[in-house]
Amino acid sequence: MSGYGTYDKFPLLESWKDASQTPIAVNAAAGDKFVFTARQPMTVVGFGLEITTTYADMGTTAQVVSLDKRPTHNSDTGREELAAITLATGYADGHVYRKRFTAVKLDVGQQLVVKQKVQGAGGGGLAGSCIPFILWYPRAETAENQTYLHDV
């Protein structure tokens, strides 16, 4: 079998299809929108947004979507923002915006939270929505170093 290099291959699963994803609307209320729990040790290196509806008529307030780390499962104690993206009029459908940052380690049980930090507002034609994604890779770590990982 010939190929181009020895890159890992990953399946595109039915659960990842566009219609399965829930976009965050420009005028969605501020607050937490998605929570992801680390089920294996991981390193997070970026945050991004896929534009699913073109942003228009955001004359008053730009939407801001952020990614936070929760070091303690289901608790905001010690919660920290890793990245934020401000969306503007003219961000077009199909474009992808990403923000990379210094690698952050997550242990099993820690969480990432996608948050509508600022609700977008504008005129009568206000429009826009996005689907968030997280850039990460697995981190080698022994189970003994993972407080919330238990073999049974």
Instruction: Give the pLDDT confidence of 45-83 residue by residue, as tens digits.
Output: 999 999 999 999 988 899 999 999 999 999 999 999 999
- pLDDT computed for residue 68 by the predictor: 98
* Radius of gyration of the CA atoms of the chain, in A: 18
pLDDT of residue 3: 57
- What does the pLDDT look like over 96-143, one tens digit per residue? 999 999 999 999 999 999 999 999 999 888 999 999 999 999 988 888
CA angle 25, 75, 138 (to 5 degrees): 75
pTM: 0.89
